[in-house]
Chain A
């Protein structure tokens, strides 16, 4: 959790320095992301939204690769099969049916894989949340539908998102178990997801889990939450956020001292410094990547366009035409 937090803190600074592009920050969501990912087995899959941009780190992805992705560099593009993670889904809720279809497909082939979809409170207003969750129920797919209710969808508060008293009530409508859990308590999240995973793996079908937390930071940058919310609530949430609580808990059990926590932080800060340096040192991608991977093979029109691009780059390199302003 601390590793993810340090990553987030540094990524925010790198963004402000212009060293990475848009960054969706998730301070305070670490308990949900780490708790859920630890409840999965290695061969289970997760389908992240843009705010789970760090869950790959839990699976062992290098911070350099994550930062490279944030620099728009193809090195950071994910290979879903290595990390057992669907692509980060930008359109809200569209990854929910993916997780359901994946889980169902695995079961059809006799494998006991479970799939978990991450999404936010705003996603529950989208059609694809409904379609995916409904389909999961009907098919009995071994899927976990995990909602991070951080109270805000950009500037829209939860009470303007739904008239439901709580999001977990929606599970009733789909005929599947619903669980509401304190999203600032990593152990509670881990236990809730573990139970849902066990149910899914043993043929009990999907579970909807609502993890209640608070988005302490902006939606992404540049977004200014002071325009639409009272910072006092965010401040109160900060005093009770997951990392503070878990550190206190571990200290009470004599499993952690402030000195050890500080050392971990230093180590991860050093790792991040190395990672951003490595990400920035990556060679510029081959322009042919523009045309790669859209289809299994480039179409003849793409081959022609690529040849033209290469010729124009070669001319530019030879100084024959500027092509662009010097």
Chain B
């Protein structure tokens, strides 16, 4: 075990998998000599050379489009998009090709690529540097959408993503890069995609969260514990396809559900989880499902973003509503 920052765990995952698999190549803007704007790829170009860690022109659709070609050539590209909001110029490639190529070719041309990007707010960034675009990807069949919430998962899930036969959108909560430190297994560490993580077990209410919101859920659970309320916390981890059985088990553990999501509310992952629980666990629920989400507005100026991102106060209010129902 090593005590690592979230960002360091990601760098380890990339470096160790590149060591193991010569087909893995990294491409993105400023990822080489500069190590990426968040330094996730720091030192990798010096270690693996300019042909495996490639500084590209400013060209999101070009990066992802080239990765489609690289997959056809039997490589395993890992694309870095510099910010969440800059994934939009690449959406055409992601939706029309990355998500469809396997289907279109009846399984003969899979797209085993990873598209990494920093995601979410909380770092006082300018416009389009704090978006939570997860729903666009979750709504696209053929993609796997993953977001880790701990350094150990950052390494384990990214390693699994680089071995996935399906294309993985890997959302890195930028708030956690240098803010969160934790124990990370040394050497090969793979965390299966598509499986929820039980953060802690509880009996009174289930909190669902993912990415940077897991920390909010945990802090809320701590506050609830002091008041004698036992919260079950479930880290969703893979946003698409969802681990339905894992979600159902976590909801049934308490019968009361609050879902915490940083992204805007409408048609979000929280809505999907709520629908699944309503369809399949209605009679196990003791109260209406609550959602605590970002508002249906663009991520606001950073001086007021703390009003937008769900915090413990908003989650506590929802939990009390659920407990009183």
Q: Tell me if B108 and A79 are in contact (CB < 8 A).
A: yes
Task: Decide if B109 is an interface residue (CB 8 Å cutoff).
Answer: yes
Whether the pair A293, B72 counts as a contact (CB closer than 8 A) is: no
* Any A CB within 8 A of the CB of B141: yes
A105 touches B62 (CB 8 A): no
**Residue A114 interfacial (CB < 8 Å):** no
Q: Residue of A at shortest CB range from B52?
A: A108
Query: Is the CB of A295 closer than 8 A to any CB of chain B?
Result: yes
What's the minimum C-beta distance from B160 to chain A, rounded to whole angstroms? 13
A90 at the interface (CB under 8 A from B): yes
B197 partner residues in chain A, CB cutoff 8 A? none
Q: How far is the CA of A292 from the CA of B62 in the complex (A)?
A: 29
By a CB distance below 8 angstroms, the chain B residues around A292 are 103, 106-107
Size of the B side of the interface (Cβ < 8 Å), in residues, is 43
Interface hits, A85-138 → B, CB 8 Å: 86-87, 89-91, 94, 96-106, 108-109, 113, 115, 127-128, 131-132, 134-135, 138
In this assembly, does A3 line the interface, its C-beta being within 8 Å of a C-beta of chain B? Answer: no
Knowing A79-B108, A135-B59, A299-B241, the reply to whether A101 touches B166 (Cβ < 8 A) is no
Q: How large is the interface on A (under 10, 10 to 19, 20 to 34, 35 or more residues)?
A: 35 or more
Which of A100, A134, A294 contacts B69, CB < 8 Å? A100
- A101 touching B142, Cβ below 8 Å: no
Q: Is the CB of A128 within 8 A of B106?
A: no
Are B165 and A296 closer than 8 Å at their CB atoms? yes
Quick one: which of A80, A89, A132, A139 contacts B108, CB cutoff 8 A?
A80
The answer to whether A175 has its CB under 8 Å from any CB of chain B is no
Looking at the complex, which of B94-102, B179-187, B260-268, B302-310 is the stretch in contact with chain A?
B94-102
The interface residues of chain B lying within 8 Å CB-to-CB of A296 are 102, 107, 110, 165-166
Per-residue interface assignment for chain A, residues 214 to 255, with 1 indicating a CB less than 8 Å from any chain B CB and 0 otherwise:
000000000000000000000000000000000000000000
Which of A80, A101, A127 is in CB contact (< 8 Å) with B66?
A101
**Do B106 and A94 touch across chains, with their CB atoms under 8 A apart?**
no
- Select B72's contact among A74, A80, A89, A138, beta carbons within 8 Å: A80
- Chain A residue numbers with a CB within 8 Å of B92 are 91, 94, 128
Is A97's CB under 8 angstroms from B62's CB? Answer: yes
Instruction: Please name the residue on chain B nearest to A105 by beta carbon.
Output: B73
A91 vs B99: C-alpha distance in the bound complex, in angstroms? 14
Interface 1/0 per residue, B42-71 and A, CB below 8 Å:
000000000100101101011011111110
Q: Is A87 touching B69 in the complex (CB atoms < 8 A)?
A: no
Instruction: Let me know if B61 and A127 touch, CB within 8 A.
Output: yes
Chain A: minimal CB distance from B24 (Å): 11
B89 an interface residue at 8 Å Cβ cutoff?
yes
Bound complex: CA of A101 vs CA of B47, how far in Å? 23
**Contacting pair B103 A294 (CB below 8 A):** yes
In the complex, are the beta carbons of B165 and A135 less than 8 A apart? no
> CA A138 – CA B241 in complex, angstroms?
37
B25 close to A (CB within 8 Å):
yes
Question: Is the CB of B104 closer than 8 A to any CB of chain A?
Answer: yes
Tell whether, in the assembled complex, residue B75 and residue A109 are in contact, meaning their CB atoms are under 8 Å apart: yes
Other-chain residue from A108, A131, A294, A299 in contact with B25 (beta carbon distance below 8 A): A108
Query: A301 at interface (Cβ–Cβ under 8 A)?
Result: yes
Residue pair B56, A90 in contact (C-beta under 8 Å)? no
Q: Does B226 touch A at the CB level, under 8 Å?
A: no
Least CB distance, B102 to chain A, in whole angstroms:
5
Q: Do A100 and B108 contact each other (CB < 8 Å), given the known contacts A90-B96, A94-B93?
A: no
Which residues in A have their C-beta under 8 angstroms from that of B105?
77-80, 87, 293
A94-B93, A108-B25 given; A102·B69 CB < 8 A: yes
Chain A residue, CB-CB nearest to B142: A294
Structural contact, B244 and A301, CB atoms closer than 8 A: yes
Query: Roughly how many angstroms separate A300 CA and B62 CA in the complex, as a whole number?
Result: 34
Question: With A101-B73, A128-B61, A300-B244 known to touch, is A295 a contact of B104 (CB < 8 Å)?
Answer: no
A160 at interface (Cβ–Cβ under 8 A)? no
Q: Is B200 an interface residue (CB 8 A)?
A: no
Are the C-beta atoms of B107 and A293 separated by less than 8 Å? yes
Of A101, A113, A115, A292, most B-chain CB atoms within 10 Å: A101
The complex places the Cα of A103 from the Cα of B92 at a distance, in Å, of: 21
Q: List 18 A-B contacts (CB under 8 A).
A: A77-B105, A79-B105, A79-B108, A87-B104, A97-B61, A97-B65, A98-B66, A98-B97, A101-B66, A104-B73, A105-B72, A105-B75, A109-B75, A131-B59, A135-B56, A292-B107, A293-B105, A296-B165
- 5 new A-B contacts at CB < 8 Å, known A100-B62, A101-B73: A94-B65, A101-B70, A105-B74, A109-B75, A131-B59
Question: A residues bordering B, Cβ < 8 Å?
Answer: 45, 74, 77-82, 86-87, 89-91, 94, 96-106, 108-109, 113, 115, 127-128, 131-132, 134-135, 138-139, 292-296, 299-301
3 shortest interchain CB distances as A-B pairs: A97-B65, A101-B69, A101-B66
